[in-house]
Chains A and B, each alone.
Chain A
Amino acid sequence: MLLEKLSNLPGVSGSEKAVREAIVEQLREHGLEWQTDTMGNLLVRKKGRRSGSRRIMLAAHIDEVGLMVTSIEKSGHLKFRPVGGIDSRVLVSKRVHVGEEQIPGVIGSKAIHLQKPEERQKPFELDQLYIDIGAKNKEEAEKYVQVGAYASFDAVCTPFGDGCLRGKAFDDRAGCAALLELLLEKDTPPFDAAFTVQEEVGLRGARVAAYTLQPQYALAVEATAAADTPDTKKERSSTVLSGGPAISFMDRTLIVHREIFESLVNAAEKAGVPFQFRRFAGGGTDAGAIALSREGVKAGVVAVPCRYIHSPCSVLKESDLRHTVSLLRAWLEATA
């Protein structure tokens, strides 16, 4: 499965090469042409069975949140900072891969036995956490890792439950898998696909990709937080698993263009694809950056609902991903 393969690859913002290359490999196998730019975006212009009258851009980001090594302690432990938005409380007792060589590392903590009762009430601060690669001192650690090395979560994508997947970086490898599937299909209408970099550090890749592609219409294909969990009040649940793709009306970076919003809803209804509205106006996506490209682009967002995003282990439902592809296909048919 495309998503499984893409999810397992490291691609922290600024170091997306492995993901880009895996996608290029697929494109090459299917005889598709592509181009890359100086930031690392991967752009594909798909020709369709008819020439479309509109220039349409679908964007999915290949980068993921992760960590960067900022210094190496005398003891051989690595200090780090997050790249992108991570709740530092999810880091303790997790595994990571460090650097291009994918050196195994773990994030340990002071054993519970040695903590004072008041310490146990507080979450671990970033300053208390280290990556341990098993090196006995700084000298040995430096043989394997240098300051500036990226670290990504070590979580193997695994099917479980009722058609669910568990793994890292579904935000936004789910979007990448959807785009890739549409690209590899024979019958889809023409569109431009952008596999963008550096979304998690401020929608940076999409900005230049949109400038290059000059779309009239654009969609960011994303993974968005699902909150159908017992720790969320019903009225606050942004999206739910099994509800189909989530259509946004607004977030922190974008008010979805009315025409796009209506056309997405129409396309879904006409094609009988289940969908839901994203009942949450926080967060941001590449669509925010794309909308402001050149003299402006009509932009919207379609997202796969995904629990526990930005954690080492997120959860999505394969049927939601499948329905996302169906919705995009239907929308392209109606729009291109």
Chain B
Amino acid sequence: MKEEEVKELVMELSSAVGISGKEDSAVAVASRHLERYATRLWRDRLGSLIAFKEGENPGEEPFSLALVAHIDEIGAMVTRIEEEGMLRFTAVGGIDPRILPGQPVVVHGRSPLKGVVGAKAPHLLSEQERREAPKLEDLYIDIGLSREQAEKQVRIGDLVSFDAPPLAMAAGKSIAGKSLDDRAGVAALIIAAAELAAARHRANVYFVASVQEEVGLRGATTAAYGLAPALAVAVDVTHGETPGLSPPDVFELGGGPAIAIGPNYHPALVRRLMEVAADERFAVQREADPGSPGTDAWVIQVTREGIPCALLSIPLRYMHTTVEMLHLDDLINTGRLLASFARSLDRPFVEGLACF
């Protein structure tokens, strides 16, 4: 896939809406891309999208690899309609309330309604208020309607997404926008699928766009059980370098995906990823992860009798904001590394995973 196509792809995925629990629109975008490269496409009971491409494995017992990236994004849910017509809300996934004042949003009512999270004018602020971080329960969404009008358009439980179209930065090869966590991962899966389309590989490959990751790794739990792959690679984002933070908390933008090392990750998979990256001269970084960074890999590893896992992470600045920023090279390298890794697999490697 060419750089220009990748840019369009990730921007399209970032624009799509898919708050945890209602990922349909984002899934539709991913399906449209994946169906070009897959032999079969379906959604499981929780809604995760699965695209299947068969490998060529003459005379051997087939085995399968799952590449998993979550398609859901953080957002909000309406909890109450105030007298003034403003909407109170609760977070879906981890949102920092401090990013919300003055933030444009879309309320998914009977039809999509533009709105904005209220921010008191500085003229009206007290000294005390200036020193405090806003709390979620004090914030509200203004949809420009009276209570009566709002009640006709909006119901409690309606979802709210950020109205933050992606930006192609002028400097560097960066893209900024909402929900690049983890549409970047989904884009990497699509890049890998495109790379594998014309390539020979022994493994049967499942491309999984998992749902409900942000609320507790739920889609990956049932998808991994349902597919029971011989091994899996989760593709997510990790923190990109940010002022005020230094390694090991953050990774270089443009330095390639981070390969995670730790108890969550099977040493043979980690080693193979490193070897493939070295052979193909893909830039990669090493991420020491003594516990869980809270990705789908955490639940996949302990599915059924155990599924060997690895994690590739794309460096992303300002995670869980509306201006998350990534470098296109990292995304492209992640997709290509996934494809090369898939091509490198054979039956003996898979059999060796239980005795390493």
Contact = CB atoms under 8 A, between A and B. Distances in A.
A123 B245 contact: no
A311 interface: yes
B167 interface: yes
A86 B123 CA distance: 9
B262 interface: no
Given A89-B101, A134-B174, A162-B145, A106 B167 contact: yes
A108 B325 contact: yes
A310 B193 CA distance: 47
Contact of A113 (B98, B116, B239, B322): B239
A213 to B, nearest CB: 28
Given A75-B243, A106-B176, A161-B114, A231 B325 contact: no
Contacts of A115: 96
B120 interface: yes
A289 interface: no
Contacts of B171: 76, 103, 133-136, 140-141, 143-144
A86 B82 CA distance: 27
A279 B118 CA distance: 20
Interface string A78-98: 000000011101101111000
B113 A160 contact: yes
A49 interface: no
A83 to B, nearest CB: 13
A113 B242 CA distance: 13
Interface in B274-328: 317-323, 325
Given A93-B322, A93-B323, A134 B176 contact: yes
A110 B286 CA distance: 21
A73 interface: yes
A77 interface: yes
A164 B145 CA distance: 9
A93 B254 contact: no
Contact of A310 (B115, B121, B146): B121
A110 B245 contact: yes
Interface in B209-256: 239, 241-245, 249-250, 253-254
Given A112-B94, A161-B145, A230-B84, A166 B104 contact: yes
Given A93-B318, A134-B325, A308 B116 contact: yes
A19 interface: no
Nearest to A240: B84
A227 B124 contact: yes
B32 interface: no
Nearest to B97: A120
B320 A73 contact: no
A194 to B, nearest CB: 23
Given A85-B122, A123-B132, A308-B102, A229 B86 contact: yes
A107 interface: yes
Interface string B325-342: 100000000000000000
B144 interface: yes
B313 to A, nearest CB: 13
Given A106-B325, A144-B170, A166-B116, A85 B123 contact: yes
A113 B133 contact: no
B103 A109 contact: no
A282 B323 contact: no
B207 interface: no
Interface stretch (A7-15, A35-43, A124-132, A202-210): A124-132
B172 interface: yes
B355 interface: no
A229 B239 CA distance: 36
A1 interface: no
B189 interface: no
A311 B318 contact: no
A49 B257 CA distance: 71
Interface in A272-322: 280, 282-283, 307-313, 315, 317
**How many of chain A's residues touch chain B, expressed as a range?**
35 or more
Interface in B72-100: 82-84, 86, 88, 94-96, 98-99
Interface in A215-234: 225, 227-232
Interface stretch (B7-15, B40-48, B51-59, B134-142): B134-142
Contacts of A124: 98
B320 to A, nearest CB: 5
Contacts of B323: 93-95, 106-108, 132
A24 interface: no
A114 B249 contact: yes
Interface string B156-183: 0000000010011111111010000000
Contact of B321 (A93, A163, A311): A93
Contacts of B167: 95, 104, 106
A163 B115 CA distance: 13
A122 interface: yes
Given A130-B243, A282-B123, A158 B114 contact: yes
A136 B119 contact: no
A114 B99 CA distance: 15
B110 interface: no
B125 interface: yes
Contacts of B94: 112-113
B134 A106 contact: no
Given A112-B95, A112-B96, A114-B239, 8 more contacts: A89-B119, A92-B321, A110-B244, A130-B243, A135-B171, A161-B113, A161-B114, A229-B84
Interface of B: 82-84, 86, 88, 94-96, 98-99, 101-104, 113-116, 118-125, 130-134, 138, 140, 142-146, 149, 164, 167-174, 176, 239, 241-245, 249-250, 253-254, 317-323, 325
26 contacts: A75-B241, A89-B119, A95-B167, A108-B242, A108-B318, A112-B320, A113-B239, A113-B319, A114-B239, A121-B133, A134-B169, A134-B171, A134-B174, A136-B254, A166-B144, A225-B124, A230-B82, A232-B124, A238-B124, A307-B121, A308-B118, A308-B121, A311-B121, A313-B103, A315-B116, A317-B144
| Closest CB pairs A-B (n = 9) | A161-B144, A134-B169, A108-B318, A164-B144, A93-B99, A134-B174, A106-B323, A160-B114, A311-B102
